[in-house]
Amino acid sequence: MRRLRVFLYNDPSTPNLRLDEVADYLKDLIESSEVLIRPEFLHYHIGSDRRKLDDIARAIASSRVIELYRRLSRRMPLLGEVEVEKRLIESGSAVRGVMYDGYELADIYNRLIADVERDRSVVHVAFTSRLVGTFGEDGRYHARVIIASFPSIISTTGVVEAPAKPREFYLQISQVSDPSLQSILIEELKRKYAGRFIDYNDERLTEVMKGYVLQAVFYQVFGEAFCDNRDCRLFNAHWQEELIHSQIVSGKICDSHRAIL
């Protein structure tokens, strides 16, 4: 295999994501690797091409998940949805309140990668504030942190919203039916359980993302992104406390995956 090259695409809407630290981590861990930081993925690959902007905005709008309990089907997006996506791409603003089909989004991103950078030894990792999801066997969409693909997509919103918070958090919310009171309660519970989950503007985000980038690298090079060992950074965490343990408390790679590296 050629020398491994990793391109990390920044998410400008997440200032607490320090990609220079992530890049240094990878370079120290993987000998002879080249890790480069690029601007936001769509900005980098679309540039000033207005026709390409229109096409990509339309495609991304059509990848929006409209119904959580129905797999995405091809549809013509509304003009307003397309215009919103164009503004979001141009501004680099944070995207909140919308879920996108993760594999559809990865396929859209894939079309933009030049042929000279399509190689097993080249890893593209696009950070985005877009919340990505996949349709599960239980017949509904689930939010994800990472879509391991080519390119891999890592959601800075997903790391907050996808892994579940402590069970007590949801138990207490379920006892309040009034939406306005729920909103107040959620803020109170966030203060009460602070430290037990990753939140927006969390300074631990960079450390967490080192592990997810490593998952993207393992998927690209070896075809397998995850590990069953909860002490390994490749552990596929479903709970926030699992994520914090594998990425921060442990912050290591298991012996078998270190041997592979």
How many other β-carbons are positioned within 10 Å of the β-carbon of residue 80?
A: 9
Q: What is the pLDDT along the chain (261 residues), one digit of tens a residue?
A: 578 999 999 999 999 999 999 999 999 999 889 999 999 999 999 998 999 999 999 999 999 999 999 999 878 899 999 999 999 999 988 998 899 999 999 999 999 999 999 988 999 999 999 999 999 999 999 999 999 999 999 999 999 999 999 888 878 888 877 887 888 888 888 888 888 999 999 999 999 999 999 999 999 999 888 999 999 999 999 999 999 999 999 999 999 999 988
Q: How far is CA 52 from CA 82, 102, 109, in A?
A: 13, 20, 12
**β-strand 152-155 against 122-128: which pairing, if any?**
parallel
At residue 145, the 3 state secondary structure works out as: coil
